[in-house]
Amino acid sequence: MSLSEIDRTTPRRPARGRRPPIDHEHLARESSGNTDRRNNALRRFLLDATDCVDRIKRAASVETRAGEARRLAAAAQSIGALSVAYIASEIELAKGPVTGRLLALDRSVGEVRAEIAELLKQ
């Protein structure tokens, strides 16, 4: 198979054992296959995710942090960003420091942002 035969719209596979940044089947179901609806949801996630992550990092209490993490988990779930949703859920349930989870969240949100940028180019 030559490079020209490869469908460039197919997302790259994540490293073995890792979830893809976005579950495209889930996203298609959530947007009913409508590209405009999908793109609006992705743009909304970009705005919401940035704000939520900032508020999680600045949270003055565990309760505030948990509420923001819950919001982020729901937003991520809605577009199929399952790794972000999982990490945000872990932060929501944590009662102590979450430094390592915040690093993982930043990495995962970065991967989702890159995937969204590619999807919005299509």
Residues 88-116: pLDDT tens digits? Answer: 999 999 999 999 999 999 999 999 999 99
Is 103 contained in some domain? yes
pTM for this prediction: 0.84
Whole-number Å distance between alpha carbons of 105 and 84: 6
Is 16 contained in some domain? no
Is 43 contained in some domain? yes
| Structural domain that includes position 28 | 21-121
Whole-number Å distance between alpha carbons of 59 and 45: 20
Is 94 contained in some domain? yes
The answer, yes or no, to whether residue 10 has pLDDT greater than 60, is no
- The CA–CA distances, whole Å, from 23 to 14, 50, 118 equal 11, 20, 14
Alpha-carbon 32 to chain mean position? 19
**Which of the four pLDDT bands, split at 50, 70 and 90, describes residue 25?**
very high
**Which of the four pLDDT bands, split at 50, 70 and 90, describes residue 55?**
very high
The answer, yes or no, to whether residue 4 has pLDDT greater than 70, is no
Taking the alpha carbons of 25, 30, 33, 38 in that order, is the dihedral positive or negative? negative
Is 92 contained in some domain? yes
Q: Look at the chain and report how many structural domains it folds into.
A: 1
Nearest to 61 by CA among 88, 96, 29: 96
Task: Locate the DSSP E strands across 1-122.
Answer: none
Is 9 contained in some domain? no
